[in-house]
């Protein structure tokens, strides 16, 4: 364990190498004093028995720490383990997303839209450099102001692209000088979204969209979400709405949605399944999302059926659908179109059609899929509990799962019976919940003085005005049961959490989704599907030890974390002392300000708290 002396000196040592010899001399003097003190102590102990044994033991530990510090500083002073700062990437990588290289994918033979998918399996040249922010980048406004106004220089969106945006949700924003304003609290525009949401509620059979929760709708997957206006409204109704959109090299809806502090992730199911298990969401929504749903004999609709829970809803708003549909004046009847034929095979019921909007409901009767009707989609063999970018499957999944429970039959929280369905002992679950309640209090007490006071002046900016609470987007890199998410909600923190379940651990993602949270499966040996600078806080409990067992590169992981972390963002890692110390050394290499915190509980666990600086050059 590092002594307090070394912890205090290490930051100065790394940032000012010209003082290395001075520090070496200082520690050498301390070691000589300690050794002389040890000899004097031995002589003194030989003539008196009044010295308490525990004092000698503590002193011996201090002497051993001083000797260890001396040897480490000596090795560093002569160049061993010398750490150099990682350089900055070129300007062309300001919005770089690994694994999404359309030209390289095309050269590799991918076509028919597959070149737009994620292809980490292709060899890629890894550059050990830090993604720099754009020239006009500014720290986002704090929540909730940042939901309604963002800096246009923070996202890759030109004025021409802005004006050509076709989605109804994309049109609900105004370009004003160096800002993009959404005016969520401003009359006409917010009414457009509210009216649309209210229309969907009425089509489902509800009196108002405030009754979505009563209808069993807690989680919504918004495909091609424009720029998040509908998702923002759903969040105001206490629904968890996740935007999933295709990668765009210019003008990204996912990047802009995350910039607003709203949940979003890059996802494209042209050829691969979405990174969710079956029976994940209560509602799936698409408003002019650009997908031709009846193509490939309904393969995309089969994927929607896979992630929908029994009794869940599919909402589709599109002029193309209206052209395919029947007259808007009719309420029920036959559409006699390929889209209708496919939805019948999926055991969906068309509840209503109004103008360009259609609402289907998935059956709650799992036997419907085995009724023997001609042309029914076959059942999948086995379950898809560990799916990770598998090819789209032309079969129905989830019907044999113990999680086949209609959305109206689900409670707001998991009871003991539901926990056992997920293979979790209730005692372990509630013990985990208690741990995270305490952890969140500790995290906030650690970060609050750093966030709310002594806030650093940003390059080129005037002194910031309060409040300084900038934590909104949180990425839990090893979510386990989703305990951090639950504790943050219970503590009334205005944050949302992307819960990640790494490959190679017990897959708890179905449990997390059934709790009403959002999350994905991910292999942390690969980059995460998001744009640079999209998270305010990265958290990982036990992640380092897990990745070491998987053979992942820790330095590549840290560079990826730096890519997706906004300037002045925070990292909290909890692990054993060995991995923590290794990462602390590497953190200085990528310019993070890092401090190790002893939990003072006698365990080998440590916290590493880091902050990413605002670096332009």
263-278: pLDDT as tens digits: 999 988 888 889 899 9
State the average pLDDT for the chain: 80
User: Which of 41-45, 178-182, 188-192 is the least confident region?
Assistant: 41-45
Average of pLDDT values for 426-434? Answer: 95
Using alpha carbons, select from 190, 187, 230 the residue that is nearest to residue 212.
Answer: 230
pLDDT band at 565 (very low <50, low <70, confident <90, very high): very high
Query: pLDDT-based confidence at 159, cuts 50/70/90?
Result: low
Could you tell me the CA-to-CA distances from 380 to 302, 566, 611 in Å, in that order?
Answer: 11, 42, 46
**Can you give the C-alpha Rg of the chain in angstroms?**
28
Beta bridge partner(s), residue 570: 537, 611
Compute φ and ψ for 380, nearest 5 degrees: -75, 155
What does the pLDDT average to over 208-222?
Answer: 95
Query: Residue 71: which residues within 8 A CB-CB, separation 6 or more?
Result: none
Pairing of strands 240-245, 605-611: unpaired
Residue (of 151, 159, 155, 289) closest to 224 by Cα position = 289
- Whether the model pTM is above 0.75: yes
Neighbours of 219 (CB within 10 A): 23
What's the helix, strand, coil split of the chain in %, to 5?
40, 15, 45
The CA-based angle 69-70-74, given to 5 degrees, is 115
Judge contact between 153 and 94, C-beta under 8 A: no
Lowest mean pLDDT segment, chosen from 132-136, 169-173, 325-329: 325-329
pLDDT for the residue numbered 126? 74
Whether the bond into 144 is cis, omega within 30 of 0: yes
Q: Which of 170-179, 215-224, 330-339, 507-516 has the lowest mean pLDDT?
A: 330-339
Token pair recorded at residue 458:
């940003």
Q: How confident is the model at residue 202 (pLDDT cuts 50, 70, 90)?
A: very high
pLDDT above 90 coverage of the chain, percent: 49
Per-residue confidence (pLDDT) for residue 22, from 0 to 100:
55
The pLDDT, as a whole number, for residue 104 is 84
According to DSSP, the β-strands at 179-181 and 149-151 are antiparallel
Ranges 91-100, 322-331, 555-564, 568-577: which has the least confidence? 322-331
Lowest mean pLDDT among 58-72, 77-91, 172-186, 586-600: 58-72
So what's the pLDDT on residue 576? 95
Contact 236, 220 (CB under 8 A): no
Helix (H, G, I), strand (E, B) or coil at 213: coil
- Between strands 357-362 and 308-317, the pairing is antiparallel
* Per-residue model confidence (pLDDT) at position 599: 81
Predicted pLDDT at 290: 85
Gap between the Cα atoms of 260 and 318, Å rounded: 25
Distance CA 323, CA 71 (A): 77
CB 343 within 8 A of CB 396: no
pLDDT at 106 exceeding the cut of 80? yes
Q: Which two tokens stand for residue 389?
A: 């970018």
Q: Annotate 328-373 with DSSP letters as a single string.
A: TT--SS---SHHHHHHHHTTEEEEEEETTEEEEEE-S-GGGGGS--
> Is 84 exposed, middle or buried (CB count within 10 Å of its CB: 0-12, 13-18, 19+)?
exposed
Of the two residues 353 and 164, the one the predictor is more confident about is 353
d(CA 211, CA 220): 14
Give the pLDDT mean for 525-543.
96
Confidence of residue 383 (pLDDT cuts 50, 70, 90): low
């Amino acid at each position: 364990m590092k002594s307090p002396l070394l912890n205090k000196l290490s930051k100065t040592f790394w940032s000012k190498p010209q003082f290395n010899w001075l520090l070496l001399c200082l520690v050498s003097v301390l070691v000589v004093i300690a050794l002389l003190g040890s000899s004097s102590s031995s002589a003194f102990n030989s003539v008196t028995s009044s010295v308490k044994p525990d004092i000698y033991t503590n002193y011996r530990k201090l002497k051993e720490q001083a000797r260890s510090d001396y040897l480490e500083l000596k090795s560093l002073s002569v160049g061993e383990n010398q750490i150099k700062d990682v350089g900055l990437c070129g300007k062309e990588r300001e919005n770089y997303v690994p694994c999404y290289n359309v030209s390289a994918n095309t050269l590799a033979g991918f076509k028919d839209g597959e070149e737009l998918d994620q292809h980490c399996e292709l060899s890629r040249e890894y550059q050990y450099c830090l993604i720099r922010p754009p020239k006009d980048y500014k720290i986002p406004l704090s929540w909730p102001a940042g939901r309604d106004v963002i800096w246009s220089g923070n996202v890759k969106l030109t004025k021409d692209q802005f004006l050509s945006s076709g989605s109804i949700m994309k049109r609900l924003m105004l370009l004003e000088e160096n800002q993009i304003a959404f005016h969520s609290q401003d009359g006409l525009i917010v009414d457009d979204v509210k009216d649309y949401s209210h229309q969907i509620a009425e089509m489902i059979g509800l009196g108002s969209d405030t009754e979505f929760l009563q209808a069993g709708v807690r989680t919504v997957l918004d495909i091609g979400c424009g720029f998040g206006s509908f998702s923002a409204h759903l969040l105001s109704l206490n629904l968890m709405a996740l935007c999933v959109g295709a990668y765009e090299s210019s003008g990204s809806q996912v990047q802009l949605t995350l910039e607003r502090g709203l949940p979003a992730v890059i996802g494209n199911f042209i050829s691969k399944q979405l990174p969710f298990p079956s029976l994940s969401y209560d509602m799936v929504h698409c408003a002019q999302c650009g997908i031709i749903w009846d193509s490939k004999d309904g393969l995309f609709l089969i994927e929607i059926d896979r992630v929908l829970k029994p009794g869940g809803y599919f909402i589709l708003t599109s002029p193309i659908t209206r052209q395919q549909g029947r007259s808007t004046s009719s309420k029920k009847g036959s559409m006699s179109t390929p889209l209708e034929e496919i939805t019948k095979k999926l055991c969906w019921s068309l509840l209503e059609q109004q103008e360009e909007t259609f609402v289907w409901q998935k059956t709650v009767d799992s036997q419907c899929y085995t009724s023997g009707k001609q042309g029914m989609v076959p059942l999948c063999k086995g379950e898809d509990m560990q799916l990770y970018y598998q090819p789209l499957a032309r079969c129905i999944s989830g019907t044999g799962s113990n999680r086949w429970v209609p959305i109206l039959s689900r409670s707001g929280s998991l009871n003991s019976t539901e926990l056992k369905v997920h293979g979790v002992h209730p005692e372990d679950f509630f013990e985990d919940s208690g741990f995270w309640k305490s952890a969140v209090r500790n995290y906030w007490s650690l970060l609050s003085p750093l966030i709310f006071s002594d806030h650093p002046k940003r390059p080129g900016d005037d002194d910031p005005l309060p409040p300084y609470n900038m934590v909104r987007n949180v990425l839990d890199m090893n979510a386990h049961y989703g305990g951090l998410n639950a504790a943050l909600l219970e503590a009334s923190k205005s944050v949302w959490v992307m819960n990640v379940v790494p490959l190679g651990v017990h897959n708890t993602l179905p449990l997390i989704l059934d709790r009403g949270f959002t999350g994905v499966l991910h292999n942390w040996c690969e980059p995460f599907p998001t744009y640079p600078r999209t998270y305010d806080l990265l958290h990982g409990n036990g992640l380092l030890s897990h990745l070491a067992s998987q053979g992942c590169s820790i330095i590549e992981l840290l560079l990826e974390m730096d890519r997706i972390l906004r300037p002045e963002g925070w990292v909290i890692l909890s692990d054993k002392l060995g991995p923590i110390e290794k990462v602390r050394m590497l953190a200085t290499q990528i310019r993070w300000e890092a401090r190790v915190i002893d939990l003072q509980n006698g365990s080998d666990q440590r916290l590493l708290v880091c902050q990413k600086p605002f670096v332009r050059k």
